[in-house]
Amino acid sequence: MTLAADFQFTQGSLQDYADCPRRFQLRYLLGVAWPAVEAEPVLENEEHLRQGVAFHRLVHQHLLGIPRERLSLTVTNEDLRRWWQNYLDKGPADLPASRYPEVVLSAPVSGYRLVAKYDLIAVDSGRPADLAEPSGQGLSRAVIVDWKTSLRRPSREWLGHRLQTRVYPYVLMCAGAHLNDGQPLEPKQVEMLYWFANFPTQPEHFAYDASQHEADRAYLASLIEEIESLEDEDFALTTDERHCRFCTYRSFCRRGVRAGMFGEAEDESEWDVDLGLEFEQIAEIEY
C-alpha cells in the first residue's frame, strides 16, 4: 500500500507501528473503526480519560494567563481537583521563562512530515544578548514538558523506549528556532520532562545531546522508509500479545475479546485521547 504524499507521521502513529504493524495499517492506512473498548471497567476508564482531558485544558488555560483562582472554581471532580492542586503546589520548578503551551511543530523526514504536538515548550536565552557567544546561541535552554495523568508511574526504561521521547526533542531541534529568537538550538540545550499528576514529586528528565540527535535522525528516517516499503500483506501482527490487551482491534485480529483492566496499563495516557484541540486551531510551524 502506497502512503499518500501528504501523509503525516506522529509519535503516536510511529509508536503504533513499533508496537504492531498491523495496528498501524488498520488505523492509519485503512481507517478501520472497530467498536471495542480499550480497558475495563468501561465507565471508570472513560471517566479517567475525560478528567485527563480536563486537566490538560486547565493547565493550558493557566499557562495562557487565566488566574488560578478562577480556574479552580470550575473543578468539581475529586481526582481532577487533586491533580490540579498538585500542579499548583508541586508543578515543574525552574522552567525557562518563555512558555509556549500546545505548540505544534513539524519537520521533514524521508519525504514526509513528522508532526509533534507539545503540551509545553519552555525556553530562555540563558544570558543577556550582549554577552552571547559568537554563534549567537548563548546558553539557551529549552525544556519540553509533557503532562501525564496515568494511575501508574511508568519506569524510566519504558519511557526511554517510547517514540515520544525521541520524536519530541528531534522535531524541536529541527523546527524550534523561532522559539529561540530565531537561533537554532543545539542538542545539549534541549531536555524532555515528564511530569506526573499522580506523582508530582517524581518527574522524569531526559537530557539530549548531539549523538542522541543523530541516532534519532537515523532511526526515525529508517522507520518511515521501512513503512513506506511495505506491501499490504507485510503489515504483520505483533508477536508480543501484551500490546493486544489495550488495543481496540484485539477481537478483529482474533487476539481475544476482553480488554485489559483499567489501571494495569503502563501508561494509559498513551491511548488516543482527543484533547479537544484540533491541529487547525493551533498555529503550525514547519521547517
pLDDT for 244 equals 87
Distance separating alpha carbons of residues 228 and 223, to the nearest angstrom? 9
Helix 78-90 to helix 42-63 angle, to the nearest 10 degrees? 40
How many residues are present in the chain?
287
**Residue located via cell numbers 498555529:** 283
Checking DSSP bridges between strand 284-286 and strand 112-124, what pairing results, if any?
Answer: unpaired
Distance separating alpha carbons of residues 229 and 9, to the nearest angstrom? 15
Average pLDDT in the chain: 85
Distance separating alpha carbons of residues 76 and 117, to the nearest angstrom? 28
Give the tens place of pLDDT for each residue, 235-278. 999 999 888 888 889 888 988 777 655 555 555 444 444 333 33
Residue 79 CB coordination number (10 Å): 18
User: Taking Cα atoms as reference points, which of 95, 116, 89, 101 lies closest to residue 56?
Assistant: 101
Domains and their CATH numbers in the chain: 8-286 (3.90.320)
Q: What share of the chain in percent tops pLDDT 90?
A: 68
Give the tens place of pLDDT for each residue, 63-110. 999 999 999 999 999 999 999 999 999 999 899 999 999 999 999 999
Residue 16 CB coordination number (10 Å): 22
